[in-house]
Structure formats: structure tokens, C-alpha cells
Amino acid sequence: MSTSPGPFPRRTSAHAVLGRALVAWWRGPREWRDRGMSTAEYAVGTLAAVAFAGVLYAAVTSSAARSAVASLVQRALAGSF
């Protein structure tokens, strides 16, 4: 613990060190803080979204999902929830 001029001692905590490092990073050279995604990242993100949509479509259109939804609707209409 180091002291600074004044009535209160200056404490160095992990939060203070992390805060100073974050400020130094943010004020650093522009190449350190790459903002946004590159074209390759957009392509990978789009492919992942399309793959997820395909899996979701296959799950929803399966016969098991149809029968589950049909039984759920029948139970709701019969009032047996």
C-alpha cells in the first residue's frame, strides 16, 4: 500500500489496475480496438444462422413435433391442463 499526499492513503486494488489497463487499451493505437466484424466474420455468422434455421425447420416440421403440437392443442381445447 502506497501513500499519496493528503489525508487518505492510496490503495491499489485489482479493480483500479484493471481500470487503468482498460483506459490505456481504449486510448491505444487504432489497430488495438478493432470495431465491428470483417467480411469473413459476417460470412461465418451468416452460415451459422442458416444452419440453425435449417435445424429449427427440420425439428418443427417433423412428425414428432406435429403430433406434440396436435396433442397440446387437443388438451387445451378439452380443458385438461
User: pLDDT tens-digit profile of 26-75?
Assistant: 676 655 555 666 788 889 999 999 999 999 999 888 988 889 988 988 98
Residue 18: pLDDT band with limits 50, 70, 90: confident
Stretch among 22-26, 50-54, 75-79 having the lowest mean pLDDT: 22-26
Please name the helix (run of DSSP H) or strand (run of DSSP E) that holds residue 26, with its range, or none: helix 14-26
Amino acid at 46: T
Residue 16: pLDDT band with limits 50, 70, 90: confident
Assess contact for 37 and 26: CB atoms under 8 A: no
Predicted pLDDT at 37: 65
> pTM (2 decimals)?
0.43
Distance, in Å, from the CA atom of 65 to the CA atom of 73, rounded to the nearest integer, reads 12
Q: State the sign of the Cα–Cα–Cα–Cα dihedral 55, 58, 61, 66.
A: negative
So where are the chain's domains?
Answer: 14-78
